[in-house]
């Protein structure tokens, strides 16, 4: 019954209705606003700050937050606000690229495996089993030990590590839906296999991919920052958020502000992404749970 | 064929007997053996993958294994002998398999030590950290889910807390905890692994974000379970809400959460790598980071295979637990679970 009603509502709840929700929900609007600022920082950081994120100024080292330096300055006298703003380009783009890579490859693999039972399914499942036998970040670390650190290598490593979570869910959904009651029912109407797959299996099988990609984007941004924290990503003096925190760790006793802002930027971005993603998922499913 | 239908009609004791009987017929043992077999297959594939990747990696295999170490004829000869590089490939593969099976991961030419000894000497601090973090995560998840499921205000508080924790990178949480409790309040040591108090902050930093993930899934499952007809039935027995949640709801809610826990153990392991470096703790994580940055491939591969072993062992256990928790999966399980 709930499946029926959700399907009925889904058709009337596309992106436009989601956009109309914004003014009525301050939390959602705030999240969207924050992400818009992050998007500006990613695309055109010069609009938000004129300070140089790289140039050192030893005379200005380790100043606490002030009107002149909103977020203070770091041990080399660089403006922390400018570094956080310019860092969005690294942290966000690495996460987005890795998830795009993983979602595309994973959905394809999952669908193929879920529909073609037998040998293909067996091979894909085994392959996924092997890849996911290595924990995400550890797999990325192993790949990086072959390729060496760097932005592109980090994207590739994270992307590969995130493939199984998409592939496995899409495969399991495809599998369950392909043998569920209503597909059975649809089959009794004499629908062809193509129609069954495209109209009744596919939409439900990939229905979870957006929420997975959203959650995945959050954890990809966190994972990318973590690997950069370890020195596997963009190399200094690039203002990547995780790399900034690694430097800040050493100056925590004297300058707390260096260790706060980049982390806050990561956390708020990930929260905003989750809030938007969940609401979008709820609208997609026709549920108004929150 | 259908013992299921007959068992519904028979009285309770007979039902239990027929359930036992069905278990044997569907071969729970055979299914468990199957899981263990596929676990072993995955492990074998993981070892093979590491062998293949060493051989497929660009460049010459000796310089890959030697890493940043100075290349002298003696070291090169030692590597060629250890990996049997002068023998044909299948022989190399077989001897690699045999070595790994015996727990021999070769020699790290950078650290000038046997890899297995290095790993063994560093495993204890990492085990302590992951166990403590898992404890933190499970306690947080259980308390948060049972107390807040289906209740308006607690639910939104717990939800907001979980959302924040899930979105917080564990290394930043670690930095904040360090600043607050070590540098400012001076309650816990800044680094090292000398006392129990040195374990508290790392375990919180690593465990809380994971606990928040489990908590979200557990609450969703619990709420779904509490809306199902069986919950109404149990309520009609006059069972208290608390008992309903703990005894009946959690059993259903645990299913998705248990799978997730298997996966989260993987993240615990990789999270330990980062947490150890935030808190300057000794352990496998630190060894791994140094090995990756120094291109010390023998160490990297050993850690990777070891983590795969841990992961496969635990996820096999989770699969078996799944069968035990949800009898519905037993008949047609192999394909339905994964």
The band of A153, judged by pLDDT with boundaries at 50, 70 and 90, is: very high
Q: List the single residue in A136, A231, A259 with the smallest CB-CB distance to B267.
A: A136
- A136, A218, A263 ranked by CB distance to B172: nearest: A263
pLDDT in tens, A243-281: 999 988 888 888 888 889 999 999 999 999 988 888 877
- Report the residue from B43, B183, B311 with minimal CB separation from A252: B183
- Chain A neighbors of B65, CB-CB under 8 A: none
Determine, yes or no, domain membership for B304: no
The domain boundary, picked from B48, B81, B108, lies at B108
Is B239 part of any domain?
A: yes
**Position B204 in a domain:** yes
Span of A8-17, A107-116, B146-155 with lowest mean pLDDT: A8-17
Same domain? B177 vs B233: yes
pLDDT of residue B16: 46
Rounded CA separation B303/B297 (Å)? 10
Give the N- to C-terminal CA distance of chain A in Å, as an integer: 21
Q: Which whole number is the average pLDDT over B76-96?
A: 84
Between the two ends of chain B, the Cα-to-Cα distance in Å is 25
Do B122 and B29 share a domain, yes or no? no
Q: How far is A17 from chain B (nearest CA, A)?
A: 24
The reply to whether B278 and B145 lie within a common domain is yes
Mutate to test the interface with B, among A84, A131, A134 (most CBs of B within 10 A): A134
Q: Is residue B324 part of a domain?
A: no
Q: pLDDT confidence of A2, banded at 50, 70, 90? A: very low
List chain B residues with CB under 8 Å of A164: none
The reported pLDDT for the residue numbered A14 is 54
Strand partners, B107: B114
**A135/B269 CB distance under 8 A:** yes
Tens digit of pLDDT for each residue in B191-223?
A: 776 777 788 899 999 999 989 988 888 888 888
Alpha-carbon distance B250 to A256, whole Å?
Answer: 42
Does A288 have pLDDT greater than 70?
no
Q: Which one of B77, B108, B139 terminates a domain?
A: B108
Of A136, A229, A248, the CB nearest to B270: A136
How many Cβ atoms sit within 10 Å of the Cβ of residue A5?
Answer: 11
User: Is position B135 within any domain?
Assistant: yes
A125–B338 C-beta distance less than 8 A:
yes
CA angle B95, B99, B100 (to 5 degrees): 120
In this structure, are B100 and B71 located in the same domain? yes
pLDDT recorded at residue A12: 46
User: Is B185 found in the same domain as B123?
Assistant: yes
Domain end call among B108, B136, B166: B108
Q: Is residue B145 located within the same domain as residue B84?
A: no
B171 against B149, higher pLDDT = B171
What's chain B's average pLDDT?
80
Mean pLDDT score of chain A = 82
Mean pLDDT of A120-124: 87
pLDDT at A34: 92
Interchain proximity A129–B42, CB inside 8 Å: yes
- CB-based contacts of A140, cutoff 8 Å, min separation 6: A154, A157, A158, A160, A161, A223, A227, A232
**The pLDDT value given to residue B228:** 80
- Closest partner residue to A126 (CB to CB) among B45, B168, B303 is B45
The per-residue b/e assignment along A101-122, b for 16 or more CB within 10 angstroms, e otherwise, is bbbebbbebbbbbbbeeeeebe
CB < 8 Å to A263, chain B? 168-169, 172, 175-176
Examine the pLDDT at A228 and tell me if it is beyond 80.
yes
Tell whether B159 and B278 lie within a shared domain: yes
CB contact under 8 A, A231 and B289: yes
ipTM over 0.90: no
Q: Are B267 and A271 an interchain contact pair (Cβ–Cβ within 8 Å)?
A: no
| Chain A residues near residue B277 by CB distance under 8 angstroms | 229-230
DSSP state of A65: S
For B21-38, write each residue's pLDDT tens digit: 444 445 677 788 888 888
The pLDDT, as a whole number, for residue A289 is 43
A180-205 residue pLDDT tens = 777 778 778 877 878 877 787 878 88
| Judgement on whether residues B73 and B145 belong to the same structural domain of the protein | no
pLDDT at A95: 94
Residues B140 and B104 in one domain: no
* pLDDT-derived band at B329, boundaries 50, 70, 90: low
Residue B323 in any domain: the answer is no
pTM: 0.81
> Does one domain contain both B220 and B192?
yes
- B304: nearest CB among A138, A226, A230: A138
Q: What is the CATH number of the domain that holds B242?
A: 1.10.3720.10
Are B99 and B120 contained in the same domain?
no
Smallest CA–CA separation between B26 and chain A, in Å?
21
Range of B276's domain?
A: 114-293
| The predicted structure's pLDDT at residue B191 | 72
Q: Say yes or no for a CB contact (<8 Å) between B46 and A134.
A: yes
| Mean local confidence (pLDDT), B157-180 | 90
Cα–Cα dist B32/B26, whole Å: 11
Are B291 and A145 inside 8 Å of each other by CB? Answer: yes
Rounded to the nearest angstrom, the minimum Cα separation between A45 and chain B is 24
B44: pLDDT strictly greater than 70: yes
User: What pLDDT sits at residue B15?
Assistant: 44
Taking only the tens place, the pLDDT of each residue in B273-289 is 899 988 888 899 889 99
Do B176 and A126 make contact, defined as CB atoms within 8 angstroms? Answer: no
The three-point CA angle A280-A47-A32 to 5° equals 15
Task: Answer yes or no: is B303 within a domain.
Answer: no
Is there a contact between B273 and B261 (Cβ–Cβ < 8 Å)?
no
Of B46, B292, B295, the CB nearest to A141: B292
Q: Which residues of B touch A175 (CB under 8 A)?
A: 335-336
User: What's the pLDDT score for residue B25?
Assistant: 46
pLDDT-based confidence at B177, cuts 50/70/90? Answer: very high
Least confident among A218-227, A250-259, B236-245: B236-245
In chain B, the residue whose alpha carbon lies closest to the alpha carbon of A270 is B167
Q: pLDDT tens digits for A57-71?
A: 777 777 788 887 778
For residue A252, which residues of chain B lie inside 8 Å, CB to CB? Answer: 175, 178-179, 183
* B327 within some domain: no
How many interchain CB pairs under 8 A, A with B?
146
What's the pLDDT at A230? 93
What is the pLDDT confidence band of residue A11, given thresholds at 50, 70 and 90? very low
Cβ atoms of B46 and B305 closer than 8 Å: yes
Domain count, chain B: 2
Whole-angstrom Cα distance, residue B166 to residue B202? 16
How far is A2 from chain B, CA to nearest CA, in Å? 12
* One domain for residues B167 and B189: yes
């Amino acid at each position: 019954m709930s499946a029926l009603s959700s399907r009925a509502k889904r058709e009337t709840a596309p992106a436009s209705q989601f956009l109309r929700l914004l003014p009525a929900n301050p939390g959602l609007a705030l999240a969207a606003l924050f992400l818009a600022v992050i998007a500006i920082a990613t695309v055109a950081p010069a609009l938000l700050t004129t300070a140089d994120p790289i140039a050192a100024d030893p005379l200005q080292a380790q100043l606490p937050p002030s009107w002149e330096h909103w977020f203070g300055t770091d041990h080399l006298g660089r403006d922390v606000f400018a570094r956080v703003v310019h860092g969005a380009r690294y942290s966000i783009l690495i996460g987005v690229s890795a998830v795009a890579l993983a979602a595309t490859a994973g959905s394809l693999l999952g669908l193929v495996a879920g529909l073609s039972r037998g040998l293909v399914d067996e091979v894909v499942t085994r392959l996924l089993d092997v890849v996911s036998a290595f924990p995400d970040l550890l797999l990325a670390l192993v790949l990086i030990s072959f390729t060496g650190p760097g932005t592109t290598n980090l994207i590739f490593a994270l992307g590969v590590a995130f493939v199984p979570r998409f592939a496995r869910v899409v495969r399991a959904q495809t599998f369950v839906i392909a043998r569920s009651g209503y597909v059975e029912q649809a089959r009794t109407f004499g629908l062809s296999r193509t129609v069954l797959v495209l109209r009744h299996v596919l939409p439900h099988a990939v229905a979870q991919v957006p929420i997975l990609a959203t959650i995945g984007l959050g954890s990809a941004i966190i994972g990318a920052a973590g690997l950069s924290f370890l020195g596997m990503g963009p190399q200094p003096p690039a203002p990547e958020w995780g790399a900034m925190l690694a430097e800040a760790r050493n100056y925590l006793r004297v300058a707390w502000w260096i260790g706060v802002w980049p982390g806050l930027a990561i956390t708020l971005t990930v929260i905003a992404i989750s809030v938007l993603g969940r609401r979008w998922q709820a609208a997609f499913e026709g549920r108004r749970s929150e | 064929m259908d013992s299921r239908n007959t068992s519904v009609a028979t009285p309770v004791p007979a039902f239990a007997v027929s359930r036992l009987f069905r278990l044997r017929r569907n071969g729970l043992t055979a299914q468990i053996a199957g899981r263990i077999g596929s676990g072993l297959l995955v492990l074998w594939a993981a070892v093979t993958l590491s062998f293949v990747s060493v051989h497929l990696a660009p460049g010459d295999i000796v310089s890959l294994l030697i890493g940043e170490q100075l290349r002298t004829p003696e070291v090169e000869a030692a590597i060629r002998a250890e990996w049997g590089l002068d023998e044909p490939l299948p022989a190399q593969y077989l001897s690699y398999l045999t070595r790994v099976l015996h727990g021999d991961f070769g020699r790290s030419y950078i650290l000038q030590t046997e890899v297995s000894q290095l790993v063994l000497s560093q495993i204890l601090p990492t085990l302590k950290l992951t166990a403590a973090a898992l404890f933190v995560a499970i306690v947080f998840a259980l308390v948060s889910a049972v107390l807040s499921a289906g209740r308006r205000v607690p639910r939104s508080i717990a939800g907001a807390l979980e959302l924040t924790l899930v979105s917080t990178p564990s290394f930043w949480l670690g930095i904040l905890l360090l600043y607050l409790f070590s540098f400012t309040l001076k309650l816990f040591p800044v680094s090292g692994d000398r006392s129990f108090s040195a374990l508290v902050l790392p375990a919180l930093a690593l465990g809380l974000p994971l606990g928040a993930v489990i908590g979200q899934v557990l609450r969703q499952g619990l709420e779904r379970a509490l809306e199902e007809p069986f919950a109404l039935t149990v309520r009609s027995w006059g069972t208290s809400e608390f008992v309903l949640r703990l005894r009946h709801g959690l059993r259903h809610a645990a299913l998705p959460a248990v799978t997730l826990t298997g996966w989260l153990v993987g993240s615990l392991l990789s999270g330990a790598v980062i947490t150890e470096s935030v808190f300057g703790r000794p352990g496998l994580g630190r060894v791994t980071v140094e090995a990756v940055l120094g291109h010390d491939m023998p160490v990297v591969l050993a850690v990777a295979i070891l983590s795969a072993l841990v992961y496969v062992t635990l996820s096999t256990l989770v699969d078996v637990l799944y069968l035990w928790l949800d009898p519905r999966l037993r008949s047609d399980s192999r394909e339905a679970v994964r």
